[in-house]
Structure 1
Amino acid sequence: MNKTVNMNLGGFFFHIDEDAYQKLNRYFDAIRGSLSMEGRDEIMNDIESRVSELFSEKLTNSKQVLSLKDVDDVITIMGQPEDYKIEEDNNTKKYDYSTTPKSKKLYRDKEKSIVGGVCTGLSHYFGIDAVWIRILFIVSPFITAGTSLLIYVILWAVTPEAVTTSEKLEMMGEPITVSNIEKKVKEELDNLSERFRGADYNKMSENVKTGAQRVGNTLGDVIISIMKVFAKFIGAMMIFIGSVTIISLLISLITLGSTSNLSMPWLDYFNTFNYTNTSMWLIAFMFLLAIGIPFFFIIILGLKILVTNLKSIGNIAKYTLLALWILSVGVLITLGVRQASEVAFENKVVTKEIINIKPTDTLEIKFKNNEYFSKNSYHNEDFEFVQDSLGRDVIYSNDINFEVLPTDERLPYIQVEKESNGKSFSEAKQRASNIEYKFKIEGNKIILDNYFLTEVKNKFRGQEVMIYLYLPKGTYFKTDESVEDFDSSDNDFFNLHYSSDNYTYKVEDKKVKCLNCPPDEDEWDDVENDGSHTVIIDENGVKVKSDTVISNSKEIKELKISEDGIIIKTK
């Protein structure tokens, strides 16, 4: 059993045997002692980073602790300090004991780059002069329609930059050993020292300062010019939008003011929905102030952007317009609250009438139109101004809903509910009672009006008529084709068939059954799954064999789904 310690090496965390850790520590101390003071810390950082990479390659899912053998392997790759020496004279001799193959990796070389270092990185990788690669990227866009430029951008994005000494050695294809790391670091330090020794610092600082000022001033001038053009464009757009809006509001105000005292059809519609009885001209004027004043200030702001020396309109005008705007907004909010309060409550008036028919009789249901208002029963208007035969101005509407429901009562009955909205329950009920709707029962026939009326003074506040026909179990009935336009029954109970008005329906326990509907219409209502099913899938398609019994007492023998369609065979 070996004792392990935790180690942070090159920014990575490792578990390592204590003996291996001590040997690695001695190895680093020996390397540090063999290095000169110049660049020692940078060399050691690069060496530790490379050792960390080698250790990471040795760890697997089944192995998480570094052993003494792992340290020996890394030392063999990196080399011992006494196995090499970099001389300071021209007879530099290096002994390379590395067993690492000299394979290159693709990096971007920013030190010798012009743009992104892609061409210099490719030159190191393929051993080609960077000049030829740059020429290739310059010429090829004219041949490849810009594809090579896209390739350059992609390589720039995905290729890492050679930053550390180890990465620079990998880029050049040199083994990453202690000697090569030390040599590379010293070369970079010598180059940097040479540049500083030969530099004219006064001239350099002056050039840097002048160049920076020139670039900064030029860039600033370009940005300011672009912003000025953009600001002028924004100012022109503000003037245009503001002017169009105010002109439109003025035209609307003049139009409404000139027609408010005339008898116009659209004025009747407006007044019907104008629950506050406020003058249309006043409402339009309030909208002009509430919307026009902000857009007026937008025009002023746009003019100031275009004309720098534009004079102000003065504080008196500003505060006056602000006060008018606050007043108009307050008036509109008050009118909106009053408008909403007029339809805040809903109430209804209910009329119920028993239908005296024999259990063996068939009840007939029909909707009838008034030929004075409409020449056919299909006329459908939710809201319309008309005059009745007495010359009264009334609101005409076909907003009528018919629904068939079950009941436990002995006899069927019809219930008519007239609904409306109002600012209180009592007012809503009063408006509902003012709805004029008629129906009559003649023997086994129910004749329903397909419209209702209400006087214009009642205004339109969501008036509608709901007709509920309650039928006990065993009742037979027929529907006229006119019922189709008003039926809103739940299909789970009563599914009206539109293809004919000669169908007879019977009320059963949980559902209304059509007695003489075609099978293709009736099967959705009355299929009972009492038998077994067999599904066969082969090269001929999909076959479903079933013992299901449908409503017409026929048994499905075979159902086949193929490219020709759906084929149903019955016994």
Structure 2
Amino acid sequence: MNKTVNINLGGMFFHIDEDAYQKLNRYFEAVKRSLSNSTGKDEIMKDIEMRIAELLTEKNRGEKQVVGLKDVEEIITVMGQPEDYRIDDEAAAEQTYNYSSSTRRSKKLYRDKDNSMVGGVLAGFGHYLGIDPLWLRIIMVILLLGFGTGFLIYVILWILMPAATTTTEKLEMTGEPVTISNIEKKVREEFDTFSEKFKNVDYDKIGNQARNAGERIGSGLSDVLLKIFSIFGKVIGALLVVIASATLGSLIIGFITAGSFSMVNFPWQSYIDNFTDVPLWIVGMLILIAVGIPFFFLLILGLKLLITNMKSIGNPAKYTLLALWIISIGTLIALGLQQATEVAFDAKVVQKQKIDFNPKDTLKIKFAYNDYFAKDIYDREDFLFTQDSAKAMVIYSNNVTLRILKTDEKVPYIQIEKKAEGKSFAIARERAEKIDYNYKFKGNELIFDNYLLTDIKNKYRHQKVEIFLYLPEGTYFKPDMSVQNYDHTDNNFFDLWFDSDIYIYQMQSSQVKCLNCADENGFAEGEAWVDEEQIAREAEQEARLEVEQEMQRQNIQNGQNSSTTVTINDKGVQIKKEATQGPQGAKSKGLKMDKDGVIIKNN
């Protein structure tokens, strides 16, 4: 019973008994000693290990799992004894050896990367077929140019064929026996070829050529990049100059005309006055400095990009402008904070007035516009600084809302709430009291203004008017189409139908009900579709029958023979009767009745 050892040989795992392992280990040691003076000893040993690993793999196929002493001896016979292949000089390398048939191997198909022009496919086929690769390359060019399939075939073979990278694979590619001597010979040839090329290299020349080429490429590339950046910089500089100059010019003109001398009233001048109590020229100066200084620096930057030798404005000027800019920004921020305090509080004033209105009538509601400020009821402005008909500056706004609510009182009433904001409750209330808003009640029609006015001195601080119309239960009302623009009533309580002023509503206990609004089928609530013409015809026939029956009854009572003609039209009911001489000598009579069948004339 022998012990077994697990070894890793050439990247492969084997089970080998102890005697075979010792013999194989002594063999490797002898090979190393024989290659002690050889060039590329490590590369040769690596190839020998890989070749022996391949032979062991072939012998272990099948059920056999352990490498024995006999297997190692057969492999040593194939590979050769180390002392038989000692190569100390070139003369020894020229020796020839006789190999048994077992050492001969068939060729394997590999890509020859050492003699390749592209991927080594055709050079590998040349070794495998034993012909010059040149003929194969000529055939491939013909296929490529003539049929167009050569490229696809070459790519497929390139993917499928492995490359001969190790010494063993290169010997297998050429069909040479993979022995110690051939492995060492192949490695020495590769090292000699590389050394010969390395010796024949003119390093000074190559270095000078590489340096000169690098300098030319770097110089040319830098010139191109500098040219591109120079052109790009010129374009950017021109844009900066144009934009900065236009902005600075606009700021200066605006400050001179509107800020300092106020020769022209610009539309935004009133808005600046509304923003702060600071004089307009100070605000204009702050805006000019805050916006103008950054654009001034952009102008300088653009000029420097356009003009190469332009001098700097100097550090004192830079620091002075920077300090002015910081001061202006800080002042504008302070003014902004002051403006924020102007709307810190809100207040309202309330006006309540009862409506002298007959509860049996229908209350009509509408909004009216002032044709001096607007040309249509649908013209709307949150707020606008303008002049009234007396040329006084006012703030005009359509911030008016209406809410219809229920009241338990017996008389309807209006509650007008005027609201405004201010930096204190007192100021906000005072500003709300100065809101000018009007409405009027004429007959059974309630007409509200759709706008509010206030003096421009009061400043715009979100002034608005909220109208609350309180109606008792059972009140009928009819909104005009203009109401839909200002109604803010909760839809769950009062759902106003848009685009119509024919609907009549009634205030009920929990909500407002529309009495004649059409549903999705076009019927009014609680109604069904009827044929009005059919109803009219049936009524006419019924009225004619009643009249004829009444006339016959009268004739019987008077003992007369007569013929009666009944006509029903939009003028009412007309009856014409012709009678013969009766017992009492009655003459012909003509009767005329109204729509209800009542006689209104007797001839």
Tell me the TM-score normalized by structure 2: 0.58
Q: Please, which moves more after superposition, 371-380 or 86-95?
A: 86-95
The residue number in structure 1 matching 2:190 is 191
Write the distance in 2 (CA, Å) between the matches of 1:495 and 1:206.
Answer: 98
State, as a whole percentage, how many aligned pairs show the same letter: 32
**CA contact under 8 A between 1:272 and 1:456: conserved in structure 2?**
no
| Aligned amino acid, residue 329 of structure 1 | I
The residue number in structure 2 matching 1:275 is 276
**Long gaps (5+) in structure 1:** 1-6, 12-19, 55-67, 73-79, 527-549, 555-571
**CA contact under 8 A between 1:293 and 1:321: conserved in structure 2?**
no
Correspondence 1:400-479 to 2 at 5 A: 400-404=400-404, 414-442=414-442, 444-469=444-469, 476-479=476-479
Cα deviation digits, residues 221-274 of structure 1 (max 9, x gap): 133213322332343234323322332233223432443223535154434543
Offset of residue 338 of structure 1: 3.4
> Does 2:288 align with 1:285?
yes
Tell me: CA distance 1:522–1:189, structure 2 relative to 1, closer, same or farther (3 Å): farther
Write the distance in 2 (CA, Å) between the matches of 1:103 and 1:509.
Answer: 102
**CA contact under 8 A between 2:367 and 2:447: conserved in structure 1?**
yes
Tell me: CA distance 1:30–1:368, structure 2 relative to 1, closer, same or farther (3 Å): farther
Tell me: CA distance 1:165–1:398, structure 2 relative to 1, closer, same or farther (3 Å): same
Write the distance in 2 (CA, Å) between the matches of 1:103 and 1:507.
Answer: 102
Write the distance in 2 (CA, Å) between the matches of 1:355 and 1:24.
Answer: 122
Tell me: CA distance 1:204–1:455, structure 2 relative to 1, closer, same or farther (3 Å): same
**CA contact under 8 A between 1:165 and 1:184: conserved in structure 2?**
no
Correspondence 1:168-317 to 2 at 5 A: 190-200=189-199, 203-260=201-258, 261-264=262-265, 266-277=267-278, 278-279=280-281, 281-299=284-302, 301-303=304-306, 307=308, 309-317=309-317
| Aligned amino acid, residue 368 of structure 1 | A
**CA contact under 8 A between 2:113 and 2:164: conserved in structure 1?**
no
Write the distance in 2 (CA, Å) between the matches of 1:195 and 1:474.
Answer: 115
Cα deviation digits, residues 429-474 of structure 1 (max 9, x gap): 3333322112244565432111110111122333333334456666
Cα deviation digits, residues 264-312 of structure 1 (max 9, x gap): 3515443454324332542442245432332144235425xx52x5444
Tell me: CA distance 1:422–1:242, structure 2 relative to 1, closer, same or farther (3 Å): farther
| Aligned amino acid, residue 295 of structure 1 | L
Tell me: CA distance 1:103–1:373, structure 2 relative to 1, closer, same or farther (3 Å): same
Tell me: CA distance 1:82–1:249, structure 2 relative to 1, closer, same or farther (3 Å): same
**Equivalent residues, number:** 471
Tell me: CA distance 1:40–1:169, structure 2 relative to 1, closer, same or farther (3 Å): closer
The residue number in structure 2 matching 1:561 is none
SS of aligned partner of 2:382 = coil
Tell me: CA distance 1:522–1:362, structure 2 relative to 1, closer, same or farther (3 Å): farther
**CA contact under 8 A between 2:420 and 2:464: conserved in structure 1?**
yes
SS of aligned partner of 1:402 = strand
Write the distance in 1 (CA, Å) between the matches of 2:494 and 2:305.
Answer: 65
Write the distance in 2 (CA, Å) between the matches of 1:24 and 1:332.
Answer: 95
**CA contact under 8 A between 2:10 and 2:46: conserved in structure 1?**
no
Offset of residue 482 of structure 1: 0.9
| Aligned amino acid, residue 301 of structure 2 | I
**CA contact under 8 A between 2:348 and 2:419: conserved in structure 1?**
yes
| Aligned amino acid, residue 227 of structure 1 | L
Cα deviation digits, residues 187-213 of structure 1 (max 9, x gap): 688535521244227x44324422332
Write the distance in 1 (CA, Å) between the matches of 2:419 and 2:64.
Answer: 90
**CA contact under 8 A between 2:44 and 2:187: conserved in structure 1?**
no
Tell me: CA distance 1:46–1:222, structure 2 relative to 1, closer, same or farther (3 Å): farther
Offset of residue 365 of structure 1: 1.9
Tell me: CA distance 1:254–1:322, structure 2 relative to 1, closer, same or farther (3 Å): closer
Write the distance in 2 (CA, Å) between the matches of 1:507 and 1:164.
Answer: 101
> Does 2:356 align with 1:382?
no
Write the distance in 1 (CA, Å) between the matches of 2:406 and 2:8.
Answer: 82
Correspondence 1:106-125 to 2 at 5 A: 120=119
SS of aligned partner of 1:448 = strand
**CA contact under 8 A between 1:110 and 1:162: conserved in structure 2?**
no
**Long gaps (5+) in structure 2:** 1-6, 33-40, 67-73, 86-92, 127-132, 530-603
Write the distance in 1 (CA, Å) between the matches of 2:187 and 2:242.
Answer: 69
Write the distance in 1 (CA, Å) between the matches of 2:324 and 2:345.
Answer: 34
Cα deviation digits, residues 18-51 of structure 1 (max 9, x gap): xx98569999x9699768753268669989x99x
The residue number in structure 2 matching 1:14 is none
Write the distance in 2 (CA, Å) between the matches of 1:184 and 1:295.
Answer: 75
SS of aligned partner of 1:519 = coil
Correspondence 1:85-124 to 2 at 5 A: 85=79, 120=119
**CA contact under 8 A between 2:347 and 2:429: conserved in structure 1?**
yes
Offset of residue 358 of structure 1: 6.7
SS of aligned partner of 1:299 = helix
SS of aligned partner of 1:401 = strand
> Does 2:519 align with 1:519?
yes
Write the distance in 1 (CA, Å) between the matches of 2:480 and 2:64.
Answer: 95
Q: Which has the larger radius of gyration?
A: 2
Write the distance in 1 (CA, Å) between the matches of 2:240 and 2:292.
Answer: 13
Structural RMSD (CA) = 6.0
| Aligned amino acid, residue 520 of structure 1 | E
Cα deviation digits, residues 307-341 of structure 1 (max 9, x gap): 2x544433333333333333333333334433444
| Aligned amino acid, residue 276 of structure 2 | Y
Match of 2:43 among 39, 46, 50: 39
Tell me: CA distance 1:111–1:137, structure 2 relative to 1, closer, same or farther (3 Å): farther
The residue number in structure 1 matching 2:504 is 504
Tell me: CA distance 1:295–1:238, structure 2 relative to 1, closer, same or farther (3 Å): same
**CA contact under 8 A between 2:114 and 2:120: conserved in structure 1?**
no
